[in-house]
Amino acid sequence: MNLILLGPPGAGKGTQAKLLEQKLNMLQLSTGDMLRAAKDKGSEIGKKIKLIMAEGNLVTDEIVIELISENIDKSSKCAGFIFDGFPRTLYQADALSELMSSKKQSIDLVIEMRVDDSQLIERIVGRYSCKECGEVYHKVNRPEQKKGVCDNCKSINGFIFREDDTEEALRTRLFNYYRETSSLIGYYYAKKKLTMVDGLLPIQTIHDLIYQATKNNL
């Protein structure tokens, strides 16, 4: 079974993808993570990607489709894929559907994670993560228990902010979400794939709801 996590930046897609991976032996495919890895390589294309992402704009469909397709080919041994941050445009959604058919697979479920815009800004501005293990913190909602020490891996090597987690870049990301991505909600509703969950519920409750939706889908 393959599923898509759909929702605005800050909705909690990455967090839920990680929990599902652990529970269902599925594999998270995050185009955001893939692009961040590509941009760190410092190649010409990496430099272009870095600029686009820092502003909060979308990378071209060709690049992300290529990344997804490579990663699908590399990973055959999981119980299914969790697409996180992909597709983000109608073109990407059509391409994914073709890619799945060519592998005799399909998208079985799309989870829309719904969160108020005002909450999104609050969640993202102030977010930072551990350099070593990637554990995510927030200045107000979830600071580390002992200043400068990661709760999870105990590293003291410090924390990093994402370059696109500024208020200005986030407004652009939101704008692009409404301009390019939100119509995918109707697209998958019409295909009878859509389930909506309230992204303001506690993390574990959301996880349980998504897990239930995957079971109902089998």
153 binds Zn ion (CB under 5 A): yes
9 binds ligand ADP (CB under 6 A): yes
Q: Which of residues 90-149 bind ligand ADP (CB under 6 A)?
A: 92
**Beta carbon of residue 139, minimum distance to Zn ion (angstroms, whole number):** 17
**Beta carbon of residue 59, minimum distance to ligand ADP (angstroms, whole number):** 4
DSSP codes, the chain = --EEEE--TTSSHHHHHHHHHHHH--EEEEHHHHHHHHHHT--HHHHHHHHHHHHTPPPPHHHHHHHHHHHHHH--SSS-EEEES---SHHHHHHHHHHHHHTT----EEEEEE--HHHHHHHHTTEEEETTT--EEETTTB--SBTTB-TTT---S-EE--TT-SHHHHHHHHHHIIIIITHHHHHHHHTT-EEEEETTS-HHHHHHHHHHHHHHH-
**Beta carbon of residue 217, minimum distance to ligand ADP (angstroms, whole number):** 23
Greatest Cα pair distance, the chain, in angstroms, is 50
Cβ neighbours, 10 Å, residue 6: 29
Among 2, 16, 28, 31, binds ligand ADP (CB under 6 A): 31
Q: Which does 152 bind (CB under 5 to 8 A by kind): Zn ion, ligand ADP, none?
A: Zn ion
156 binds Zn ion (CB under 5 A): no
35 binds ligand ADP (CB under 6 A): yes
Write the CB contacts of 191 (distance below 8 Å, at least 6 apart in sequence): none
- First and final CA of the chain: distance in angstroms? 8
Catalytic residue flag (residue 13) = yes
Among 3, 85, 109, 195, binds ligand ADP (CB under 6 A): 85
Among 55, 61, 122, 132, binds Zn ion (CB under 5 A): 132
Stretch that binds Zn ion, among 19-27, 35-43, 123-131, 165-173 (CB under 5 A): 123-131
Q: Which does 112 bind (CB under 5 to 8 A by kind): Zn ion, ligand ADP, none?
A: none
Cβ neighbours, 10 Å, residue 55: 15
Among 130, 170, 194, 210, binds Zn ion (CB under 5 A): 130
Residues assigned a catalytic role: 13, 88, 127, 162, 173
Binding site for Zn ion (CB under 5 A): 130, 132-133, 135, 150, 152-153, 155
Please report, as ranges, the residues that interact with ligand ADP according to CB under 6 A.
Answer: 9-10, 31-32, 35, 52-53, 56-59, 64, 85-86, 88, 92, 164, 173
